[in-house]
């Protein structure tokens, strides 16, 4: 696909009256690569063109392309593989399936307890109330898919989740489709609906289980739970999922690496 050549200098962009801002050239190339990812020119798991090919395509130096790719790799949008090239990151790979799940078992690594067992309690299309529509960038009353499920590890119900997804992007999503998919939920969104979650924001607080929550999670009413609200975004910061989870922490802890 031909691309408009860029000058070998930073391009000015307006930033308020009388205050021009300058976008470094590698940032412009990063934006063009991101545009190709968003439009699906290169699918998750596929290799992107080499740095030399991209440099020729955009008519810039290889170093400029490398710097743009470095930033996209740091943001987990691309993955470099020694001797093989650069690939579009995907949730379908085993080592990133739980990238957004920070709950870890006290006894050791998550892999030791096996994959989550999913029980879908509900999956239906509803009209979004204002508190759901707002974080998804929708209008109140727009169609969303609402999912409620329990995730169990080693047979122990550990997470109760409610998910809301934009109805237009997730047409055809049903309980049996979610239950039968072998792999991470975000991998299903990516492979079957073309929606790749690239980042997420979370809010945490401590809560006490009500009677219904306690029954579903097999704890006593009033037991302490960790409430996690997550908004997940696809390319260009478009919100595509609101998720509210209640986590048991009697045998698990929330772990986050800060750098």
Nearest to 188 by CA among 110, 131, 120: 120
Say whether both 143 and 234 belong to one domain: yes
Q: Give me the domain span that covers residue 81.
A: 11-88
Query: pLDDT averaged over the chain?
Result: 85
Residue 21 has pLDDT above 80, yes or no: no
95 pLDDT band (50/70/90 cuts)? very low
Residue 72: inside a domain, yes or no?
A: yes
- Number of independent structural domains in the chain: 2
Identify whether 37 is part of a domain.
yes
pLDDT at 255 over 70: yes
SS (H, E, C) 51-85: HHHHHHHHCCCHHHHHHHHHHHHHCCCEEEECCCE
> Do residue 129 and residue 244 come from a single domain?
yes
Per residue in 114-148, pLDDT (tens digit) is: 678 899 999 999 999 999 999 999 999 999 999 99
Q: Which of 63, 88, 113 is the last residue of a domain?
A: 88
Q: Are residues 79 and 112 in the same domain?
A: no
Q: What is the pLDDT of residue 9?
A: 40
Contact 164, 241 (CB under 8 A): yes
Looking at residue 111, its pLDDT comes to: 58
Judge whether 20 lies within some domain: yes
Mean pLDDT of 246-255: 88
Q: What is the pLDDT of residue 14?
A: 41
What's residue 121's pLDDT?
Answer: 96
Q: Residue 35 sits in a domain of what CATH number? A: 1.10.10.10
Confidence of residue 91 (pLDDT cuts 50, 70, 90): confident
Q: Are residues 180 and 165 in the same domain?
A: yes
Residue 97 has a pLDDT of 46
CATH value at residue 122: 3.40.1410.10
- Residues 29-53 have a mean pLDDT of 89
In a 13 Å sphere around the CA of 199, the CA atoms on its Cβ side amount to: 12
Residue that is last in its domain, among 88, 109, 134: 88
Verify that 154 and 131 share a domain, yes or no: yes
Residue 112's pLDDT band (boundaries 50, 70, 90)? low
Query: 5 lies in a domain?
Result: no
146 occurs within a structural domain:
yes
CA gap 111, 200 in Å, rounded: 22
6 pLDDT tier (thresholds 50, 70, 90):
low
């Amino acid at each position: 696909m031909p691309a408009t050549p860029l000058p070998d200098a930073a391009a000015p962009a307006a930033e308020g009256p009388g205050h021009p801002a300058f976008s470094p050239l590698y940032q412009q190339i990063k934006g063009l690569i991101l545009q190709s990812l968003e439009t699906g020119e290169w699918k998750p798991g596929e290799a992107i063109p080499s740095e030399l090919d991209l440099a020729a395509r955009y008519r810039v130096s290889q170093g400029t392309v490398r710097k743009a790719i470095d930033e996209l790799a740091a943001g987990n949008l691309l993955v470099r593989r020694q001797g093989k090239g650069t690939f579009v990151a995907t949730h379908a790979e085993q080592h990133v399936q739980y990238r957004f799940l920070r709950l870890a078992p006290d006894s050791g690594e998550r892999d030791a307890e096996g994959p989550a067992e999913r029980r879908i309690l509900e999956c239906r299309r509803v009209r979004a109330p204002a508190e759901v529509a707002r974080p998804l960038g929708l209008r109140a009353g727009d169609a969303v898919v609402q999912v409620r499920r329990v995730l169990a590890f080693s047979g122990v119900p550990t997470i109760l989740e409610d998910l809301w997804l934009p109805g237009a992007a997730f047409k055809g999503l049903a309980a049996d489709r979610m239950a039968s998919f072998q792999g991470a939920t975000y991998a299903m969104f990516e492979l079957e609906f073309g929606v790749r979650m690239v980042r997420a924001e979370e809010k945490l607080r401590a809560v006490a289980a009500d009677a219904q929550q306690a029954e579903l999670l097999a704890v006593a009413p009033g037991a302490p739970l960790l409430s996690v609200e997550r908004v997940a975004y696809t390319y260009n910061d478009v919100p595509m999922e609101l998720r509210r989870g209640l986590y048991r922490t009697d045998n698990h802890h929330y772990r986050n690496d800060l750098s």
